[in-house]
A and B are shown apart, each in its own frame.
Chain A
Amino acid sequence: MALAETLATPEFKRRALSGAAAAGRLLISVFVTILGLLALTFFIGRMLPLDPVVVILGDDASQESIDKLVAKLGLDQPLYIQFATYVRDALTFDFGVSLTSGRPVIEDIARVFPATVELATISLVFGVLIGVPLGVLAAARAGTWVDHTIRIVGLVGYSAPNFWLGLMGLVLFYATLGWVGGPGRIDFVFQYDLEIWSGFYLIDAARMGRWDIFGDVFSRIVLPASILAYGALAYIARMTRSFMLEQLGQEYVTAARVKGASEARVIWRHAFPNIAVQLATVIALSYAFLLEGAVLTETVFAWPGFGRYLTTALLRADMNAVLGCTLIVGLIFIGLNLLTDVFYRVFDPRTR
């Protein structure tokens, strides 16, 4: 059938209309969510008993100076006008200037976000590569000591505070064994040498062909990434086990076994593909949580990332930075949820 004929068929038109309507609904839903997020962050920010004007001017500032700055920042305007201004600026990613760093918030986020993305991505890779096979193994050996061991290991990863794990990891692997680098993203001897191109130090070092810097950066990221990965893998393994147990109880699995398929084939070729979509959601959520910022891990490892930036901003009443970061976190969750939805629609025919 020619393309023109295909496009003219009522069936295609119906599908196209249906798709457009779904996309429209999705866009409206995203827009409303973002607007809600903006409203929530803005009004919570205004309700907090913190005074950004004093943070800028200092504790000794006179009331006259305070009044002038309040007017300059528009804080004397009615709330709805302040909100409208905030939405207008936020839609262009203009979050104002950070009181914490003195730079535009968006520049700060662009600076700290790669540090967190680099850490979170490596953590997620570790978490998925170890967590998924462990979850599958636990399901396949459900009720045995293997299952129990994996569940206990997962439980520890799920419940042990990262702060404590981080410090213990530093004491053992950095201070005692000397296997990894200490706190910080890069050793100071390389501080001058690394040309920041992407903000991802591993990539920047590789791009320069400076493998000594690459090694230093890697030796510093491996421990915090492993600790974060431990928490992520615990979650991924638990969920994988749960999904797999459900699938392994299905009739089609019994049928495959009756037909003589090997256990490995039953698991990896028959059952596993059926949990892929659910697993994608779990992995996406894990990534979102990692990106949101592992504040305590970043604190212990002196990691100049997003989570610590947000926390510092909050403690210093830097509301521009807090609102900007909150919006970015919201957008990450919305973006990853959207991605998961799309993934579902593509790979799961029941959702179409």
Chain B
Amino acid sequence: MKDGLITGVVAGALTASAAWADTPPDTMVMAYNIDAISTFDPAQIGEVVTNEIILNTCDSLVEIDPADESQVRPRLADSWEVSDDGLVITFNLNPDAVFPSGNPVTATDTVWSMQRVLELGFGNSASLTDYGFTLEANDTQFVAIDDHTFQMTLSKPYPTALIMQAVAANRVANTLDRVYLEDKAVDGDYANGYLTTNTACVGPYKLVRWNAGEVVILEANENYYGPAPATKRWLMRHVPEAGAQRLLLEQGDVDIARDLGSEDIRDMTGTDGLEFVSARKHQLLYMGFDSGQERFADDRVRLAFKYLINYDALAETVMAFDGVPRNSVVPIGAYGALDEEEGQPFSLDLDKARELLAEAGYADGFEARLFIGSAPYSAAVAQHVQANAAEIGVTLNIEQMANAQLFSAFRGRDFDTVMLGWSTSVPHAHGMLSRHAVNPDNSEEAKLTMFPTWRAQWFRPEFNEKVEAALFEQDVEKQLQMYRELQMDHMNQGPFAYMFQTLNKAMIRDDVEGFSWNAFRVYYSDAVKG
């Protein structure tokens, strides 16, 4: 034993660099901050890391096309038909799909899986309720016609393309192994407790291990009905610190690093063997104002803040690799979005900002709190705004806090100004407008905390009507024009000052091929080491 001990320690200590020279060819190793993972239940997942994993382990009816994020392609559903009135969508499920338990995938599983989303009532249920699905209609809106035919009935003729993106491609349409999970349910929880640490669905990969704060391991599903994944195993190592991720990547101990800082990426760009990849997210970094306060209720005051930001300078420095300037409420890449030029009309103009404040009756400025969270660039961007605001007499007192605290303050309408991000899971103008332009009821009692407009106490009934009208407009040209006008009006009157559309970014080793992603998915099964 003593000999073994000495051998082990010496071997470990002296040959460390050799031992970690390369990752195995059949395993993709990714350094990733996976702290946010708290459940694998598709009905509950509320953050991007687990969403990325679940969409590679649990198939939805369709999936966003990697080549064009505004389109969907078949996944569990081979094909689908839409009724003439646009109210009924019938999905034909792949008959070869089998769960890891050996149970066949049936339409009844899909019905149960979607019904439980509404029954459980987590935030994800909004992906259904936003499109008219209700708990009360649970028995009629999702129906299994036979084992392989699933039918979805809408309450209104929502655009089919939008329903496919927002519902059928979403994790709320992940089909779970009902027969297996019904045994795992406790106190009517629809197996929510079991799915906290497990998956029970069919996808190109299956979850084999999650050690919280340490590692997630996915292995290829050998019985997958679709194309076999190109890489046998994905291993996500929890590495929260960007500097450590960089060292691991440079040493070849990981193939992909997902949370590098801008400075690290700048330093590493051009390094042999490494490649920088990025994709625009449908997430906007914005400043919010409490329109319940008289000063921020004036459109001109909110508008003034949009002239306090040197977007291009920030894009080249603080936000380099993290975001691109964007003032429109609809992100680039979404259906109906303004083009880059039209969607970015503002620039730093202190005179204009001063003039707007004076017109609003605040020529002497005012003092307000600015709440920010823990994103790496938040403090720098906030300081930039603070410095420019000081030039026009506005004193912004920055208070940085944990994101959970920031969200609580924002939801509780307990803020003056706030800086944070908002994502939409739909590549469609309606995805953002339905939350950032619509406020169904501004009263305190309504507590519509899921609407940022409600949180900001911004209420314009005409926007509610215009967003609804645009959604159901059948003439495409007319609809696009309506979305254009909505964005232009929202830029001048809206409750928020949008600054940047953020980026997904990663540094990968150049022997990784086929790393495919967009704003909504990372397609693990396409990536392979050359």
Residues of B within 8 A of A51 (CB): 404, 407-408, 411
Given contacts A58-B44, A175-B250, contact A167 B215 (CB under 8 A): no
Most buried by A among B121, B217, B235, B404: B404
| Residues A317 and B16 in contact in the complex (CB < 8 Å), given A103-B212, A188-B29, A302-B238 | no
Asked if B461 CB lies within 8 Å of chain A CBs, one says: no
**B interface residue count range (under 10 / 10 to 19 / 20 to 34 / 35 or more):** 35 or more
Taking a contact as CB atoms under 8 Å apart, the answer to whether A65 and B402 are in contact is no
Query: Which A28-79 residues have a C-beta within 8 angstroms of B?
Result: 48-51, 54-66, 68
When chains A and B are docked, how far (Å) is the Cα of A57 from the Cα of B47? 11
Q: A141-149, A212-220, A268-276, A323-331: which lies at the B interface?
A: A212-220
Cα of A213 to Cα of B5 in the assembled complex, Å:
10
* A:89-115 near B, CB below 8 Å: 98-103, 108, 111-112
Given contacts A58-B123, A61-B450, A183-B244, contact A49 B405 (CB under 8 A): yes
In the assembled complex, which residues on chain B have CB atoms less than 8 Å from the CB atom of A301? 244
Closest to B126 in A: A60
Q: Does B211 contact A (CB under 8 A)?
A: yes
Q: In chain A between 120 and 173, which residues have their CB closer than 8 angstroms to a CB of chain B?
A: 167, 170-171
Whether the pair B405, A317 counts as a contact (CB closer than 8 A) is yes
* Partner pick for B450 among A59, A102, A174, A309, CB 8 A cutoff: A59
Secondary structure at chain A's binding surface: helix, strand, loop or mixed? Answer: helix
Cα A167 to Cα B251 in complex, Å, equals 15
Is B411 in contact with A61, judged by CB distance below 8 angstroms?
Answer: no
* B472 is an interface residue with CB less than 8 A from chain A: no
Question: Do A315 and B374 touch (CB < 8 A)?
Answer: yes
**Residue of B8, B250, B408 with most partner-chain A CB within 10 A:** B8
Bound: A70/B210 CA distance, A: 29
A176-234, CB < 8 A from B: 177-185, 187-189, 191, 205-206, 209, 211-219, 222
Among B16, B20, B213, B243, which residue has its beta carbon within 8 angstroms of that of A112?
Answer: B213
Residues of A within 8 A of B329 (CB): none
Chain A residues whose C-beta falls within 8 Å of the C-beta of B237 in the assembled complex: 184, 188, 302
The residue on B at minimum CB distance from A163 is B241
Q: Are A59 and B407 in contact (CB under 8 A)?
A: yes
B12-49: CB near A (< 8 Å → 1, else 0) gives 11101111100110010100000111110000101000
- The reply to whether A215 and B8 contact each other, CB–CB distance below 8 Å, is yes
Q: Which A residues touch B476, using CB under 8 A?
A: none
Kindly state whether residue B157 has any CB partner on chain A within 8 Å. Answer: no
- Is B277 on the interface with A (CB-CB < 8 A)? no
Contacts of B369 in A (CB 8 A): none
Say yes or no: A304-B238 contact (C-beta < 8 A), given A51-B404, A182-B253, A216-B12: yes
Which A-chain residue is minimally distant from B197 (CB atoms)?
A102
> What is the CB-to-nearest-CB distance from B505 to chain A, in angstroms, rounded to a whole number?
20
A211 vs B15: C-alpha distance when bound (angstroms): 14
B124 proximity list for chain A (CB < 8 A):
58, 60
Complex partner residue of B240 from A180, A181, A188, A299, CB under 8 angstroms: A299
Q: Is A238 an interface residue (CB 8 A)?
A: no
Option from B27, B402, B407, B408 in Cβ contact (under 8 Å) with A188: B27
CB distance from A2 to the nearest CB of B (A): 49
Q: Distance in Å from the Cβ of B41 to the closest Cβ of chain A? A: 9
Give the residues in chain B near A57, CB-CB below 8 Å. 46, 121-123
Task: Tell me if A277 is interfacial: C-beta within 8 Å of chain B.
Answer: no
Q: Mark B404-418, 1 if CB is under 8 A from A, else 0.
A: 110111010010000
Partner of A64, one of B5, B11, B121: B121
In the assembled complex, A314 has its CB within 8 A of some CB on chain B: yes
Nearest A residue (CB) for B448 = A63
For B145, the chain A residues whose CB sits under 8 A away are: none
B470 to chain A, nearest CB (A): 22
> Could you tell me the distance between the alpha carbons of A68 and B188 in the complex, rounded to whole angstroms?
15
Q: Does A300 make an interface contact (CB < 8 A)? A: yes
User: Is A281 an interface residue, CB under 8 A from the partner?
Assistant: no
Instruction: Determine whether the beta carbon of A68 is less than 8 Å from that of B121.
Output: yes
**What is the CA–CA distance of A66 and B448 in the complex, to the nearest angstrom?**
11
A171-B16 contact in complex given A49-B408, A112-B213, A302-B241, C-beta closer than 8 Å? no
At the interface, yes or no: B447 with Cβ under 8 Å from chain A?
A: yes
With the chains together, A308 CA to B23 CA distance in Å?
27
List residues of chain A with CB within 8 A of the CB of B243.
167, 170, 300
Cβ–Cβ < 8 Å partners of A68 in chain B: 121
Measured CA separation A270–B197 after assembly (Å): 59
Q: Are B239 and A184 in contact (CB under 8 A)?
A: yes
Which of B209, B239, B241 has the most CB atoms of chain A within a 10 A radius of its CB? B241
Which among B213, B411, B447 has the highest number of chain A CB atoms within 10 Å?
Answer: B213
Asked if B121 contacts A65 (CB within 8 A), the reply is: yes
A-B contact pairs, 20 of them (CB 8 A): A49-B405, A50-B402, A54-B404, A60-B46, A60-B124, A61-B122, A62-B129, A63-B449, A64-B121, A101-B37, A103-B197, A185-B214, A187-B19, A188-B235, A188-B237, A215-B9, A299-B241, A302-B237, A304-B212, A314-B402
Query: Closest 4 A-B residue pairs measured CB to CB?
Result: A58-B123, A178-B17, A215-B12, A211-B8
